[in-house]
Amino acid sequence: MGSSTEHGGRAKKGSGGSQLWKKALLHSSLCFVMGFFTGFAPSSVSDWTSAAVAAGGVGSSHVARALHAAGAVNRSLLAQDAAVVDAGPQPLLVVVTTTESTTTPAGQRAAALTRMAHTLRLVPAPVLWVVVEAAGDVPATARLLRTTGLMYRHLTYKENFTAADAAAGKERHHQRNVALGHIEHHRLAGVVLFAGLGDTFDLRFFDQLRQIR
């Protein structure tokens, strides 16, 4: 009886020691694995970039240039945003188009007005398009202007001009005076541009106009 009890006690002690040894081994293994991966993980992007550049490899130089370019782009975007904020509201751009109906056939006039409308739609708001023409040509032009999607004023006059008057510039001057009278009467504050039917413009030109103070 005594021998059997002693043998059982030794077995229990051996089993307990084996379990402690396994737990210690598992704990050590976990610590080793965690330390291994922690050592390879970069502490920050800048440290990782510095290590890559120090390595001197082709891939590392590409990565460094890419990160430098990304930073430059971000700084550029921030500068542009700051410029937009500093610029504030854009001034009103008043574009006056004289039609000179005595020298321009109706079909050509409609085509020229359509081309001008396409250009002005690309100009940042606010833009006011003032179209001046003889009273007899109103219906066709009014229909065209309603389809442009632009803010416009359609001004007319009853005075008659001959081809000789138009050639001398009298009709064009009269149309400009009609437009200026309308602008002054309604106190439209902005930059005024006289644009004939045959004129073409670079969009950058409108940006430069808005710099006028």
Nearest in space to 106 (alpha carbons), one of 60, 79, 139: 139
Residue 139: Cβ within 10 Å count: 8
CB 118 within 8 A of CB 148: no
Q: What is the pLDDT along the chain (213 residues), one digit of tens a residue?
A: 444 444 444 544 455 556 666 666 666 666 665 665 555 555 444 444 444 444 555 444 554 455 455 555 445 444 444 444 445 688 999 999 998 776 677 788 899 999 999 999 999 999 999 999 998 878 889 999 999 999 999 999 999 888 888 888 899 999 999 999 999 999 999 999 999 888 999 999 999 999 887
Let me know the angle formed at the C-alpha of 46 by 45 and 52, rounded to the nearest 5 degrees.
90
pLDDT on residue 23: 66
Q: Which residues pair with residue 153 across a beta bridge?
A: 130
Separation between Cα atoms, residue 194 and residue 209, nearest integer Å: 12
The CATH classification number of 93-209 equals: 3.90.550.10
